[in-house]
Amino acid sequence: MVNHTSANRHTASMKKLKVAFIHPDLGIGGAERLIVDAAVGLSKNHEVIVFTSHHSPDHCFAETKDGNKRIYCLINH
């Protein structure tokens, strides 16, 4: 049995991490969905940055359009 009080205390005491993802094209696909889901999930408790060489507002997941996520497109096409 899991002691939820202990688990919550452990989570609260964790140090906030800086996490970076590097992905070549942040379009729409399975690998991109995985990156976006991981970034969104981790951003609840940590600072997350996504670096990519291509990110088009016309062909991407909604979570990457809202401006709340730190996405840096290193090469503009």
pLDDT tens digits for 23-36?
A: 999 999 999 999 99
The pLDDT of residue 30: 96
Residue 6 belongs to some domain of the structure = no
Q: What is the mean pLDDT of residues 55-72?
A: 84
Residue 43 belongs to some domain of the structure = yes
Kindly tell me if the per-residue pLDDT of 18 is higher than 80. Answer: yes
Residue 2 belongs to some domain of the structure = no
Count of domains forming the chain: 1
Residue 9 belongs to some domain of the structure = no
Residue 42 belongs to some domain of the structure = yes
**C-alpha to C-alpha distances, 28 to 1, 11, 16, 57, nearest whole angstrom:** 39, 32, 29, 11
pTM (2 decimals)?
0.74
Classify 65 as helix, strand or coil.
coil
Residue 1 belongs to some domain of the structure = no
What secondary structure does DSSP assign to 12-45, as a single string? HHSPPPEEEEEES--SSSHHHHHHHHHHHHHTTT
Q: What residues make up the domain containing 45?
A: 14-73
